[in-house]
Amino acid sequence: MKAAVLYERRKPLVIEDLDLVAAGPGEVEVELIASGVCHSDLHHVNRDTPTVLPVVLGHEGAGIVKSVGPNVTRVRPGDHVIIAFGSKCGECFYCVRGMPYLCTPASPARPRLSRGGKTINQFLEVATYAERTVVSEKNIVKIRDDAPLAICSLVACGVTTGIGAVVNTAKVEPGSNVVVIGTGGVGLNVVQGARLAGAARIIAVDVLDNKLEFAREMGATHVLNAAKENVIDRVKALTGGYGADYAFEVIGNPKTISQAYESVRKGGVAVVVGVSDENAELTFKPVWMMRQSKTLMGCAYGSSRPQVDFPRIVDLYMEKRIKLDELITRHFALDEINEAFRAMEAGEVARGILDLA
């Protein structure tokens, strides 16, 4: 089966034929229908990260169950599924406390991909830039048959991370004033999460006007171009001089994290959603934490429980309470993955999606 392999950092991915294991005990083989292209994948191309190469990237996938290994009870061949990324062991310290987004399994997943007998790693145990994948049953979330599967692939990361940051992590109350810094594929979902939560003002901040247009479409009430305007001053002016109740940083940059922290009022909450560089450091004056009683929070995978959150988000979409179609600006074939990365880096797309079927 064909997959996109990263052999060397800062080099294009290579499309190759790989060997995929048959689904073993507790594993599921999925015929992938689509995979969203997330900036987190590109980080592993452009940055030196702990991810071991060679690796098949991709972590925003959906598809149809092709076969199941022994002892699989959750799904059957033909079921429509969204694949949750990362370990989801169900047994560790974090999983038993309802925090599968922090899962720290006792043992790693077995190697499932190879070429010429040499192991190729699966990014985040899912590797969705491929025609097929084999994953643990615990990463599989069955969804309703009438939902458009390709569009629902976005629920595997961007949508759940964005909406989850608002609803699960920050628990934004109706009437709140919210700032979203970075309105790309994930940030746009923070915007629509804030709308869903009943935020009064949703102030979208980006450096690209086309992204701010997307943000309006997703429910932003105000937009600020950080390349042209002073973000802190404008946020204060829009919030009665106080600052926002909540700010979300969805880029992964210490400068914009500081900006998020500064843009909230006394007692406000800033949430870091973006993934910073491994060696990045944040400097700020902690005295303000006490004096202004502010909170700086982290948020992995929208603090989500995929088995609960994915079907809920799909229902919200099917009831037209959230938008997914509008997020997809461009479709690509698997062998156009490097072009999809280029388009994302150039800021041309809200979300790009690989059609894999």
Residues interacting with ligand APR, by CB under 6 A? 38-40, 43, 161, 181-187, 205-208, 211, 226, 250-253, 256, 273-275, 344, 347
Please enumerate in sequence order all residues whose Cβ is within 8 A of that of 59, keeping only pairs 6 or more positions apart, or say none: 38, 40, 41, 85, 86, 123, 124, 126, 128, 156, 157
Comparing C-alpha atoms, which of 316, 43, 294, 35 is closest to residue 164?
A: 316
Nearer to ligand APR, 1 or 207 (CB): 207
CA distances from 18 to 139, 159, 208, 338, 344 (A): 22, 30, 39, 19, 26
Nearer to ligand APR, 72 or 187 (CB): 187
Q: Which helix (H) or strand (E) holds 95?
A: helix 93-96
CB of 75 to ligand APR, least distance (A): 27
Tell the residue number behind the tokens 């060997």, with chain if given: 19
Residue 34 contact among Zn ion, ligand APR, none, beta carbon within 5 to 8 Å by kind = none
Classify residue 128 by its DSSP letter: -
Is position 42 an interface residue for Zn ion (rule: CB under 5 A)?
Answer: no
Q: Which helix (H) or strand (E) holds 2?
A: strand 2-6
Nearer to ligand APR, 18 or 244 (CB): 244
Nearer to ligand APR, 65 or 272 (CB): 272
Question: Residue 63 and residue 87: Cα distance in Å, rounded?
Answer: 19
Residue 39 contact among ligand APR, Zn ion, none, beta carbon within 5 to 8 Å by kind = ligand APR
Q: Which residues of 311-331 are buried (b: 16+ CB within 10 A; e: fewer)?
A: bebbebbbeeebbbeebbbbe
Is position 38 an interface residue for Zn ion (rule: CB under 5 A)?
Answer: yes
Judged by CB under 5 A, the stretch of 112-120, 149-157, 226-234, 320-328 that binds Zn ion is 149-157
127 and 113 in contact (C-beta within 8 Å)? yes
Is position 157 an interface residue for Zn ion (rule: CB under 5 A)?
Answer: yes
Is position 196 an interface residue for Zn ion (rule: CB under 5 A)?
Answer: no
CB of 88 to Zn ion, least distance (A): 6
Q: Which of 1, 92, 99, 318 binds Zn ion (CB under 5 A)?
A: 92
249 and 157 in contact (C-beta within 8 Å)? no
Nearer to ligand APR, 89 or 208 (CB): 208
Residue 89 contact among ligand APR, Zn ion, none, beta carbon within 5 to 8 Å by kind = Zn ion
Q: Which of 13, 27, 40, 337 binds Zn ion (CB under 5 A)?
A: 40
Residue 95 contact among Zn ion, ligand APR, none, beta carbon within 5 to 8 Å by kind = Zn ion
CB of 210 to Zn ion, least distance (A): 21
Residue 103 contact among Zn ion, ligand APR, none, beta carbon within 5 to 8 Å by kind = Zn ion
302 and 159 in contact (C-beta within 8 Å)? no
Nearer to Zn ion, 103 or 109 (CB): 103
Is position 167 an interface residue for Zn ion (rule: CB under 5 A)?
Answer: no
CA distances from 251 to 50, 182, 277 (A): 19, 6, 11
Comparing C-alpha atoms, which of 34, 29, 3 is closest to residue 135?
A: 29
Question: How many residues contact Zn ion, by CB under 5 A?
Answer: 7
Which residues are catalytically annotated?
38, 40, 43, 59, 157
Q: Which residues bind Zn ion (CB under 5 A)?
A: 38, 40, 89, 92, 95, 103, 157
